[in-house]
Amino acid sequence: MNPIVPVPPLEPPLTDTAIALTLVLLLLAPLSVAGLALITTGLGRSRSAAQALLGNLTIVAVAAIVFALVGTGLAGNLSGLSHAVHLARKPWNWTGAGPLFLHGFSSAPVQRQLEILFEFLAVMLAVLIPWGSGADRLRLAAGCAVSALLAALFFPLVAHWIWGGGWLAALGANFGLGAGFLDAGGAAPVHALGGLSALALVWIVGPRRGKFPREGLSTAMPGHHVVYVLFGCLLCLVGWMAWNLAGAILWLNAPLTALPRNAVDTVLSASAALLATLAVTRFRFGKPDASMCANGWLAGLVASSACAALLTPGESLFVGLVAGIITPLLVEMLELALSIDDPSGAIAVHAVAALWGILAAGFFAPESGQLLAQVVGIAALLGLVFPAVYLLFAILNRIVPFRVDPDGERIGMDLHELGGGAYPEFVIHRDDSYR
């Protein structure tokens, strides 16, 4: 094992205009965090709304601190150093070897600082995804523990593989697979990782009480505030355009002239996905389903994360269309056929749509071997990251129990964990789903 190898510097360095624009875009990117927080809160129940939104804030805070203290070292962008294993005369660069506690941040080149800022904000988005899936039964302490684990270990590792000159980024140079694994907007380290973590979490924590009764179909537990959900979608659009454009500048060295098309591609993907979901739910249920349409919109944005910088507008439309068709069908299948209770639909919206976007980026790429590079990235996420996440979550569950006790679930997470509800002047009706 070669202890430390330098990551090749980015060429050419960013211009001052690109640096200023990237900084502005990154300041807009947290709108996606706000949007996702509103969506996950709105899709939960009213008696858990305050805990859900406070949880969003808390786990984002935990992720920010843990990533700053530990994660930046593993991500490795700050120092440009990394640990690599040499296999078949090729370096397999697995982790960063940067300093802990953001040591040297202020003296690093501004481009490196922006890369760290991008990852710093991206980790906040990634940790929100499993929190939404555990709505109405996941304890706040457990959410913080999950957030810390993702921010300290899994996000930095995957981010290093893709953005820190890691083995996935080097697939092109080492094995002739196109330009290596490409993902400018964070489909893999943010959405695929977050969605797969959500699957691991809901498997461990189990369904909400009364969701799957002994007899009959699963109980419908609709979100308590669709207006939050739909407004969150609008916030997400701004945040997503910021992510995709900033990512294109930082990770693909995209020229400024390519950015307007990138933004248009993002909007087209989300729009096609929304209309496709609207049509599918209209066909399936007789009327469009508002919360499912929100999931479709989000799936289109997630799919655009991997490929908006690489595709033409027509191809982006197609990517969004497919994401919008598979999302409602998959949400339904996960619940009815596979008995997976995912209130926010994160597994379909984030994991599957992200994997589809990653695949589409390779499928439409002109370089030969690009599709294979993207498939290898998907194989790493599914075959290596997901089992490791599940294993560590299962161990973590023994230390910090994920699930609230039955009494807490019955009275609601707000009263149980916070001592007060989100809507104290409203009458909360008895839940008929408990049988």
Partner 1 sequence: MKYAGLLVMPAGFFLTAAALVLFPGSAQRAVFVVCGLAVEALGLGVAVRGHMLARGESRR
Closer residue to partner 1 in complex, CB, 154/386: 386
User: Smallest distance from the beta carbon of 86 to partner 1, in angstroms?
Assistant: 11
User: Smallest distance from the beta carbon of 136 to partner 1, in angstroms?
Assistant: 18
Which parts of 177-225 fold into alpha helices (H)? 193-205
Task: Determine the Cα–Cα distance for residues 25 and 306; give it in Å rounded to an integer.
Answer: 17
DSSP for 225-279?
Answer: -HHHHHHHHHHHHHHHHHHHHHHHHHHH---GGGHHHHHHHHHHHHHHHHHHHHH
Contact 422, 46 (CB under 8 A): yes
Q: How far is CA 317 from CA 85, 266, 309, in A?
A: 40, 9, 13
Residue of 120, 318, 356, 386 that binds partner 1 (CB under 8 A): 386
Per the structure block, which two tokens stand in for 184?
């400018």
Interacting span for partner 1 (CB under 8 A) from 49-57, 299-307, 387-395, 412-420: 387-395
Task: Determine the Cα–Cα distance for residues 326 and 321; give it in Å rounded to an integer.
Answer: 9
Q: Counting contacts by CB under 8 A, is residue 368 touching partner 1?
A: yes
Contact 330, 283 (CB under 8 A): no
Task: Determine the Cα–Cα distance for residues 371 and 135; give it in Å rounded to an integer.
Answer: 36
Q: Counting contacts by CB under 8 A, is residue 387 touching partner 1?
A: yes
Binding footprint of partner 1, residue count (CB under 8 A): 28
User: Smallest distance from the beta carbon of 140 to partner 1, in angstroms?
Assistant: 25
Residue of 376, 396, 404, 422 that binds partner 1 (CB under 8 A): 376
Interacting span for partner 1 (CB under 8 A) from 6-14, 65-73, 278-286, 378-386: 378-386
Closer residue to partner 1 in complex, CB, 296/343: 343
Q: How far is CA 212 from CA 20, 73, 138, 308, 338, in A?
A: 52, 43, 17, 39, 11
Indicate the SS3 state at residue 145. helix
Closer residue to partner 1 in complex, CB, 189/320: 189
Interacting span for partner 1 (CB under 8 A) from 51-59, 268-276, 304-312, 367-375: 367-375
Q: Counting contacts by CB under 8 A, is residue 406 touching partner 1?
A: no
Q: Counting contacts by CB under 8 A, is residue 390 touching partner 1?
A: yes
Binding residues for partner 1 restricted to 209-228, rule: CB under 8 A: 212-214
Binding residues for partner 1 restricted to 80-119, rule: CB under 8 A: 87-88, 90
Contact 268, 284 (CB under 8 A): no
Q: Counting contacts by CB under 8 A, is residue 369 touching partner 1?
A: yes
User: Smallest distance from the beta carbon of 123 to partner 1, in angstroms?
Assistant: 23
Task: Determine the Cα–Cα distance for residues 244 and 262; give it in Å rounded to an integer.
Answer: 7
Interacting span for partner 1 (CB under 8 A) from 37-45, 76-84, 147-155, 205-213: 205-213
Containing 294, the helix (H) or strand (E) segment is helix 290-307
Task: Determine the Cα–Cα distance for residues 257 and 237; give it in Å rounded to an integer.
Answer: 21
Interacting span for partner 1 (CB under 8 A) from 117-125, 253-261, 286-294, 377-385: 377-385
User: Smallest distance from the beta carbon of 309 to partner 1, in angstroms?
Assistant: 24
Q: Counting contacts by CB under 8 A, is residue 175 touching partner 1?
A: yes
User: Smallest distance from the beta carbon of 378 to partner 1, in angstroms?
Assistant: 7
**DSSP type of residue 2:** E
CA dihedral 239, 295, 265, 279 (to 10 degrees): -150
Q: Mask: binding to partner 1, 334-353, rule CB under 8 A, as x and -?
A: ----xxx-------------
CA dihedral 62, 65, 66, 69 (to 10 degrees): -170
Residue of 4, 256, 379, 411 that binds partner 1 (CB under 8 A): 379
User: Smallest distance from the beta carbon of 395 to partner 1, in angstroms?
Assistant: 13
User: Smallest distance from the beta carbon of 91 to partner 1, in angstroms?
Assistant: 12
Residue of 279, 375, 392, 415 that binds partner 1 (CB under 8 A): 375
User: Smallest distance from the beta carbon of 371 to partner 1, in angstroms?
Assistant: 8
Task: Determine the Cα–Cα distance for residues 265 and 242; give it in Å rounded to an integer.
Answer: 13
- Residue 382 burial (C-beta neighbours within 10 Å; 0-12, 13-18, 19+): middle
Instruction: Find, among 303, 70, 318, 34, the residue nearest to 192 by Cα.
Output: 303
The residues of the shown chain that bind partner 1, judged by CB under 8 A, are: 87-88, 90, 171, 175, 203, 207, 212-214, 338-340, 368-369, 372, 375-376, 378-380, 382-384, 386-387, 390-391
